[in-house]
Each structure stands twice: as C-alpha cells, then as structure tokens.
Amino acid sequence: MPFVDGLALSNLLPSSIVSIVTPQGRQREALKKELFELVEKSSPPGNPSGRFDNSDDGDRFFEIFTKELPALNPTPNPAQSSLFSGEWECIWTSEKEINFLVKAGLFGDSWQRTYQKIDIPNNLLENFLEFDNNGGLSVGSYINPQPKKGDRFDIQFQDAVLKWKGFTLNLPPVGSGWGELLYLDETIRLQRDIRGDLILAKRVV
C-alpha cells in the first residue's frame, strides 16, 4: 500500500474508494456479495432457524459469516462506532422466533419486512416486524456498548407493542442480554447474540 507522509493511502481515501482500490477492500466486497447470493439462493425468509436448503451453501455461508469477514473487519470497536447507528434491514437471521413469524404471518396477514433502528448516542434500539394491513410487532430496548469490550453491547428490553387490524396491545418486555458485532462497515453488519443467534443486516439509512 502506498504511503503519503508516513500515512497509509487507505487512511486518506473515502471508504467507498478503498473498497475498490485495495486488495482487502476488494476481498471484503467479494465476500459480501457471495454472502447475499447464498441467502438468496438457498435460505429464503422464514426458513426455520435460518436453515439453508443446500447444506454446502450453508457451510460456505457460515464460513464467511463467522471467519472470513470478521478477519477483515474494517471497524475497530464496532459497538462503539457511529456506524452502528442507523436503520438496518434484516436480510437473514437464525433467530427462530423471527423466522416463525416471517413464515406464519400475523393472524393471517403476510409478513412484509424485518428491520431495526439503532441510536447509540441515545442508547435506543427498536426492532420491527411489519405485516400486511398495517399489522406489526415492535420491541423497544435500551442499548449500551460495553466500555471494556469494543465489539459487545448490552440490551435491556423496555416495551413491546402488537398491532393488528386496528387493535393495539402492549406486551410486557422480558429480560436482557448482550450482542457482539463480528463485522461492521458502511453497508452491512454481522452480529451474534447471547443465545448464539446470528443476524445479517443491510443498512437502509
């Protein structure tokens, strides 16, 4: 990598350019593309526990998810990074409760999307599942990056709301937990939680 006044050129360029001109950047982009292709080909939304219809596709997916991309993570202390905040679309997850609702729908109404809104400066995390006819399930939480582990954050559930055909039901929040970011950049996030569930999320905003 060329240097300018003792600094690596990659530190001086916008990340979108680095992803094209550096070998590591190109490798990241290729692996990210492969990850999305494997999900599209072999693990449609709602598959139980995020199962892959083709076991070889699943093996390759987990190799990229848990090893290859984390080894190329460009964001130090990702849970404390400003990149963590934003709106994130859930592209794939192994979480069985989410996959059940995606597959089954909400009392006959089909699932539309699953996404999160994260605001680290204000310690807010909101999870949303949207269904036809303005139905939905939302769960609000407090989120706090752990000061001594830069890839890990704590969650305390605060509220849950179920909406269906004009009815609104407040549900009691249950419990707390933690998650860790295996990989974070400007466009995707790879995450594992206290139960070992995995999430592949793509930035919306």
Q: Please give the pLDDT value at position 11.
A: 59
CATH: 3.60.15.30, 3.40.50.720, 2.40.128.280, 3.40.1120.10. Which one for 3-203? 2.40.128.280
Q: Please give the pLDDT value at position 8.
A: 53
Each domain of the chain, given as residue ranges in start order, spans: 3-203
Q: Please give the pLDDT value at position 4.
A: 41
The model carries a pTM of: 0.90
Q: Please give the pLDDT value at position 166.
A: 93
Q: Are strands 188-193 and 176-184 parallel, antiparallel or unpaired?
A: antiparallel
Q: Please give the pLDDT value at position 47.
A: 96
* 3-class SS of residue 38: helix
In whole angstroms, give the CA distance from residue 202 to residue 186.
Answer: 9
Contact (CB, 8 A) for 172 and 147: no
- Provide DSSP, 65-78: IIIITGGG---SSG
Q: Please give the pLDDT value at position 53.
A: 97
In whole angstroms, give the CA distance from residue 30 to residue 26.
Answer: 6
Q: Please give the pLDDT value at position 16.
A: 61
List per-block mean pLDDT (blocks of 10 residues) for the chain, which spans 205 residues. Answer: 47 65 93 98 95 97 98 98 98 97 96 98 98 97 97 96 96 90 98 97 97
Which residue is it, tokens 């939480």?
141
Strands (E) located in the chain: 3-4, 7-8, 86-93, 111-119, 124-131, 136-145, 152-164, 167-171, 176-184, 188-193, 198-203
